[in-house]
Amino acid sequence: MGGDNGPPITIPAALEVLADNPQLTIIACGDKYQISPLLQNASASLAARLQVIHCPQVVSMGEKPSQALRSKTQSSMRIVLDLLKENKAQACVSAGNTGALLAMAYYVLKMLPGIKRPALVTAIPGSLGHKTYVLDLGANVACDEHILHQFALMGSVLSEKNDLKNPRIGLLNVGEEEIKGSDTIKKTARLLKEDKSLNYIGYVEGNDIFNDKADVIVCDGFVGNISMKACEGLAKAVIETIKSLARENWWSRLFAAIALPMLKKLYRQMNPDQYNGASLLGLRGIVIKSHGNASKDAFKYALEEAINEIRHQVPEKIGNRIERALTDRSQ
């Protein structure tokens, strides 16, 4: 039900992903009166694998997380998470209210043993096809060194699902020299260096998010969220500037006519906000957050991310990794 568009986006995306994945079943939780008409033209074999559970409530996009948690126990968001908790579903995908999803997932699923805080993470596409996982992107505004250390471990496990051995872990800072950064950053650097299970490469800077320097970049949710939104703002400003250039003369109109479709493609490829399917890591279950204004194709990416994380048993591996780290530290 979530996102700016709801079932008209999510249901067609679900049908296409079902067609691509013959072993998959999708449970669509939401308003059956909105969902059913969208299934009328689906083939019987696909519709058989798309189960609908009617939910009388919806968490709206502007709703306060605390209020949604209290009063929306019959919402599509809550019922999906309940299914996950009862092992009736293996992953949750939502395009809804991020804050409410974080709060409800935290409340219903609980954290994996030993994990202090969940982290929101996504792969940021950089130059030449490189991807960097950046976490946290906004689940936690303030993080101490132990939380950031756990983010490094969780990010490492997530990036390993792309057949990556020893992913390179960088710590986001204002310079590469050892003396740079706050006390928390310096303490985190020490913990990451000491942890022999991590391939820690040291401090990285903001521009390195888009380089092939690190596979995982660790930061708190304040700086992660603001940096990624700043990049989104820059991308939009570039496109607007080109559009206004296009009104200047015939030469720039020609340029704009050629450049805009390709820039929009680039923008869709590279804009972190559209690079869809952020994972909420650290919970007892797989929770994928789609961008609220995701297109059908973008929502398909979010569903595919969920399938990948199920295949690679991401929560189980994170649980094992954290348990090992805690055992090592206590020895």
Which residues contact its own copies by CB under 8 A? 64, 126-128, 138, 141-142, 172-174, 179-182, 185, 205-211, 219, 221-223, 225-238, 240-242, 244-245, 252, 254-255, 258-259, 262, 266, 269-270
Beta carbon nearer to its own copies, 56 or 261: 261
Q: Would you state the structure tokens that stand for residue 317, as one six-digit string? A: 């591996």
Beta carbon nearer to its own copies, 111 or 245: 245
Minimum gap (Å) between residue 273 Cβ and its own copies: 9
Beta carbon nearer to its own copies, 187 or 296: 187
- Nearest-CA neighbor of 288 among 2, 88, 12? 2
Minimum gap (Å) between residue 134 Cβ and its own copies: 9
Q: Enumerate residues 6+ apart whose C-beta is below 8 A from 295.
A: 9
Beta carbon nearer to its own copies, 35 or 101: 101
Rounded to an integer, what distance in angstroms lies between the CA atom of residue 82 and that of residue 86?
6
Minimum gap (Å) between residue 164 Cβ and its own copies: 20
Beta carbon nearer to its own copies, 229 or 317: 229
Q: Which long-range contacts (CB under 8 A, 24 or more apart) does 57-64 make?
A: 58/1, 58/2, 58/30, 58/31, 59/2, 59/96, 59/97, 59/100, 60/97, 61/2, 61/3, 61/4, 61/96, 61/97, 61/292, 62/97, 63/97, 63/100, 64/99, 64/100
Q: How many CB atoms lie within 10 A of CB 237?
A: 10
- Is residue 38 within 8 A of residue 12, CB to CB? The reply is yes
Minimum gap (Å) between residue 225 Cβ and its own copies: 4
Query: Parallel, antiparallel, or unpaired for β 91-94 and 286-289?
Result: parallel
- Is residue 300 within 8 A of residue 13, CB to CB? The reply is yes
- Nearest-CA neighbor of 152 among 139, 165, 142, 167? 167
Beta carbon nearer to its own copies, 19 or 61: 61
Which residues on adjacent β-strands are paired with residue 135? 121, 218
Three-state DSSP at 65 gives helix
Minimum gap (Å) between residue 26 Cβ and its own copies: 31
Beta carbon nearer to its own copies, 79 or 223: 223
Three-state DSSP at 111 gives strand
Minimum gap (Å) between residue 236 Cβ and its own copies: 7
Minimum gap (Å) between residue 177 Cβ and its own copies: 8
Minimum gap (Å) between residue 232 Cβ and its own copies: 5
Please name the amino acid found at residue 294.
A
Q: Would you state the structure tokens that stand for residue 159, as one six-digit string? A: 């990036």
Beta carbon nearer to its own copies, 97 or 199: 97
Three-state DSSP at 56 gives coil
